[in-house]
Amino acid sequence: MNRPKLKIIHGGLEDIRKIGNVLIIASPDESPPFEPDAEVKEEDTFLIMSPPRQDMKVMEESLTRLMTKLLETEPIPPGTVIVKEGFPVRLIAIIYDVNQEPIWKSKWIESALIRIFEESESRKIKSLSMPMLGTVYGKMPVKEFINIFTAVLLRTTPQYPRRLWLRVPYGDSKKITGMMDDVMKNSDIQ
């Protein structure tokens, strides 16, 4: 019995908008629209939130030495972006301070977004992947992030990245781009 060959059809989970020169593809992690040249990761002022990369070796220092090192470490100011070379380039957005409540502030996320676009511009990063900053660990309302994100793009009009994969929850792509549309309709900047 000959069975028909099944073919996987990708797509349907993403939605696309263009703001200035940047093509934004809202898509979940399960449906990557492209392989990015750079990716944004969110982090806290002491760089302890994100899990270690798989390629890092297990640290063999004593607990006392690690605690001493942590006490001597100066926190990185929120809103800062640290660049880690490689492929993809990693842009580490410092947007959380676990010593404050809430652990995020809108102005930190706005500053980080501006710096992310400045780094993309200076490095001519053509494609970038980014989570909705502040919405995972910090529980920032998605609408607030989209308002800040869209306003920063409208104000700064970056030439790079050309394509931005905004990583959104599964099934929320159209809702997220609809929020962008609302911000653009109500903006003085066009």
pLDDT digits (tens, 9 = 90+) for 116-152: 999 999 999 999 999 999 998 889 999 999 999 999 9
Among 118, 115, 176, CA closest to 147:
176
pLDDT digits (tens, 9 = 90+) for 24-69: 999 999 999 999 999 999 999 988 876 555 444 444 556 676 666 6
Is the residue at 171 inside a domain? Answer: yes
Q: Count how many domains the chain has.
A: 1
At 183, list the tokens. 């911000």
Is the residue at 4 inside a domain? Answer: no
* CATH code at position 45: 3.40.220.10
Is the residue at 1 inside a domain? Answer: no
pTM for the whole thing?
0.84
Is the residue at 144 inside a domain? Answer: yes
Is the residue at 10 inside a domain? Answer: no
- The range of the structural domain enclosing residue 156 comes to 15-185
Is the residue at 190 inside a domain? Answer: no
